[in-house]
A and B are shown apart, each in its own frame.
Chain A
Amino acid sequence: MGSASFDPTRAVRFDLPQGSVRAGSDGERVLLVPTQALDELVLSAPPEAVEALGRALGSAIGRRAAARMDAQSAPVDAFVTQLAGEAAMAGVGTLRIERWGRALVVLVEGSTLVGTLLAPLVASAIEAASGRRVAATLLSRDERVARILVGSEGGVARVRDWIASGMAWGQALTKLHGGAS
C-alpha cells in the first residue's frame, strides 16, 4: 500500500454478460459516460448541481486512491502518485501538484471537464483520500492546464474574491501568505 508506483492491474472490470463495469478493489460499479453529455449537463445544470456532480466524481477517485496507500503517512509523491493514478483511470486527466509556499495547488492537464466541475472534483478527491475537509477554487484555466488551489474554506474564499476583483492569482497566493499586495 505504500508503493510509490501505481499498479493499475485489474483496476477496471467489464462484466459483459451482466453489462456492467466495475472499478477499484471493492468492485464499485461505474458508468462510461461521454464527456459531451457531461458538458451539456454542466452547462444546463445549476452551479450547485454541477458542484455536487464534481464532488461525487472526485470522491470516488479519492476513495480508490486511499485504498492503495496509507494516506496519513504517505509521502507527498506517493500520495500524488496514487491519486493521479486513480484520476487517470477515471479519465479526468493528468494530475500534479505545486507548492506555492505553504499553499497546495493541483494541476490537471488534458482534461475535458470544465473548470466549474474540476474544482469540486479535485477538492473532493483529496478530501476523500486524506480524510481532511478541504475547499478548492479555480485559479486559472487554459486549453491544457487547469490550476486549482486547495485550502481551507476561508483561505479559498479570500483568494476567490481577490481574483474576482482583478488581482492576479500569483499575487493572491502571495497575499494569502500574509504579504502586502
Chain B
Amino acid sequence: VSKGDTIAKLESLLFRVRARAAEPRRPAPVAIAYAPAPALALAPAPAPAVLIAPAPAPAPAFVEESGPPPARSSVDDEATLAQPTRPPPAATEADIVVDVDVQDVTGDAVIGVPAEEVPVPDASESRERLVAAEPVVEMAAPEVPAPAAEERSQDVLAAEEDVEEAPLSSRRPVAPQPEERIAEIAFGAEEPQPPRHTPPPESGRLPAAPVVEFDGDVTGVHETPAVPHRAAPETPMPRRAPELVPEVTAAELAPSDAVADVVGEAQAFSPSTFVALLDASLAL
C-alpha cells in the first residue's frame, strides 16, 4: 500500500466521519466504551481518545476492563454482544462496530459512530486498516467511583489548566544545603542532625469544642473549703539546758627558788652617818 492510498483512505474516512457527525444522532448499535489510553486521538493529546476498533475485536472484554461506564445504554450492550457472532469477511460497512472508548479520566468527547452502512468507496481497505490497529494497552484507572461524565471532564480540564503548585502549608522535602551536601560527600556525614523542620500542621477545619452542657443552677461561685481550725500551739516543753562543764586548762608550774631577782644598789647602800647619806642624796 502506497502512501497515497493510505492518505486517500484516511481522507475518505475523515470525510465520512464528519458527514456522520453532521447528521442528527439516532440510536444505533454502537458500542461505546471508555478506554484509559487512546490510540488515535482526534482531540489534543491527553484529551479523549476515539478508538475505532474492528467488529471482531474482543469488545466485550475491552468493555469489562474499562471503568464502569455510567452512561452506557442497554442498546450498547446488545450491539457489543452481537458483534463477535458475525463473520468478519462477510461484514459490510453496516456491520462495522466502532467502539469509541472515552477515557474515564478525560471523557471530553464521545463520538458515536453509527454502524450503519456508509458509502465508502473501498470499505474493505478501511476495515483492514482498522483491524491492523494494535490493541491499546489499557492503563489502570483509579478505583474511584466515577461521577458523571460531564462533571469529570470539566474537573479534569480545570485541573490540567492549573499548574499544580504545592501549597505553602504542604509538606515539602527539606534537603540540606548544597554546600553541606558537598561537604558530606567530601568528608563524610557527621553526626546525624536533628530534623530541621517539622511539618506544618495539617490544614483543615478545627475540631469543634466539645459540647458542654451548663447547668443554670451553677453560678461558678465555689465555696471555700472549710479550713480545719488550727489548735493553738501547745507551749513547748521547756528544754532542759545542757549542763555546762568547765574545761580547765592550767599550767603546770614547778617550784623554783630563783624567781626574784632583786636589783637595788640603794638597798645595799648603808651610810654610817647622816652626812654620808646626805652627800649621797646630794650627788644624785
Contacts and interface: CB of A to CB of B under 8 A. Distances in A.
Interface stretch (A14-22, A37-45, A75-83, A113-121): A75-83
Residue among B264, B265, B269, B282 with most chain A CB within 10 A: B282
A99 B264 CA distance: 12
Given A102-B266, A104-B278, A126-B278, A76 B284 contact: no
A53 interface: no
A-B interface, 4 closest residue pairs, ranked by CB to CB distance from nearest: A101-B266, A79-B274, A104-B281, A102-B280
A151 B272 contact: no
7 contacts: A79-B275, A97-B277, A102-B266, A130-B274, A130-B275, A134-B278, A150-B281
Interface residues of A, number: 26
Chain A interface main SS type: mixed
B273 A76 contact: yes
Contacts, number: 71
Interface in A19-71: 71
A72 B278 contact: no
A75 B270 CA distance: 11
Interface of A: 71-76, 78-80, 97, 99-104, 126, 130, 132, 134, 150-152, 155, 176-177
A126 to B, nearest CB: 7
Given A132-B279, A176-B284, A76 B266 contact: no
A130 B283 contact: no
B271 interface: yes
A103 B281 contact: yes
B91 to A, nearest CB: 160
Contact of A102 (B273, B274, B275, B281): B281
Contacts of A74: 273-275
Contact of B274 (A75, A151, A176, A177): A75
B266 A99 contact: yes
Nearest to A158: B284
Given A152-B284, A177-B284, A99 B278 contact: no
Interface string B164-176: 0000000000000
